Amino acid sequence: MTRKAKKIVVVDVGNTSTASGVWSNGRVAHVSHCDGGFEECVRRGVPDCKGADAMAYVSVVPSEDRKWRQFAAKAGLKFHRISHLDFEGARGAALGIRLDYPKPQTIGADRLADAAGAVSRYGAPVIVMDFGTALTAAVVTGDGVWRGGVIAPGFPLMRDYLFERTAKLPRMEIGRGRAPKIGRSTEEAMRFGALVGYRGMVREIVGELKRNFREDFSLVATGGFARWALKDSGIPFAIDPTLTLHGAGLICSRFT
């Protein structure tokens, strides 16, 4: 039987920011968020590797991979990159998830970590949505099978597209504030469209998935914009900010 790591550094490299923390016994602590990638994290002195056995690595930015692998080696950490291989055969059985997907190697590591974390904490069937640069959804049915998912533009992409493709619209601040009753300025009109329109998209995605699979899914949300997007929406999501890091640590603990 392989030795389970007692303390695991967890790193989630996204398109606009990097999250890191320490996973131990199913809990994530010392969470830090850095705008940018490896260089900014190192400048800030994160992650904390003291006493750790391994690094669980999630990334959607291939150019960052070598830097983090070398960092782990210098820190004396076993490096475990989350991938579809963690869900094959006996490994998938240990996690309670089996992939039903034509090209599993194309599934983003963040979506796999989200699914593992969601099933661990909330059970299956579950729909987990990650509100980041893109909005992604992963579906795990009650039999523990990862069926696929959804990818849609996230808040940053929608905001930047409006700014870059129009002559007069400003670059709207996102992540704070509520939707007004009606837009009475350009900024308010954009905020209404972003929040209310986005919630409508989320409702429609959830509704369509429920109709397609006819299961009573738990709804779980994570990602930097989840709390802002879903506040006052009435959509019954459990918001779990450390879900991706937890899923990464959980997977690594089984196989390190």
- Reported as a single tens digit per residue, the pLDDT across 106-118 is 999 999 999 999 9
**pLDDT tops 90 at residue 69:** yes
Average pLDDT over residues 81-97: 91
Order across the sheet with 27-35: list the strands: 27-35, 17-24, 8-13, 54-59, 78-81
Mean residue pLDDT of the chain comes to 88
**pLDDT tops 90 at residue 137:** yes
pLDDT attached to residue 195: 76
pLDDT attached to residue 1: 40
Q: What is the pLDDT of residues 3-60, one digit of tens each?
A: 544 799 999 998 888 999 999 999 999 999 998 889 999 889 889 899 999 999 999 9
Confidence of residue 160 (pLDDT cuts 50, 70, 90): low
Percent of the chain with pLDDT over 70: 88
Q: Name the amino acid, one letter, at 30.
A: H
**pLDDT tops 70 at residue 164:** no
pLDDT attached to residue 132: 85
Domains of the chain, each with CATH number or no CATH: 8-153+199-255 (3.30.420.40)
pLDDT attached to residue 80: 97
pLDDT attached to residue 36: 80
Could you tell me which residue, 163 or 233, shows the higher pLDDT?
233
pLDDT attached to residue 184: 73
**pLDDT tops 70 at residue 81:** yes
Confidence of residue 169 (pLDDT cuts 50, 70, 90): low
Single pTM value for the model: 0.87
Confidence of residue 161 (pLDDT cuts 50, 70, 90): low
Backbone angles phi, psi at 77, to 5 degrees: -105, 140
List, by residue number, the catalytic residues: 110
pLDDT attached to residue 225: 84
pLDDT attached to residue 2: 45
pLDDT attached to residue 154: 74
Residue 6 to residue 9: CA distance in whole angstroms: 10
Question: What sign does the dihedral 122-123-124-130 (CA atoms) show?
Answer: positive
Contact status, residue 127 vs residue 209, Cβ threshold 8 Å: yes
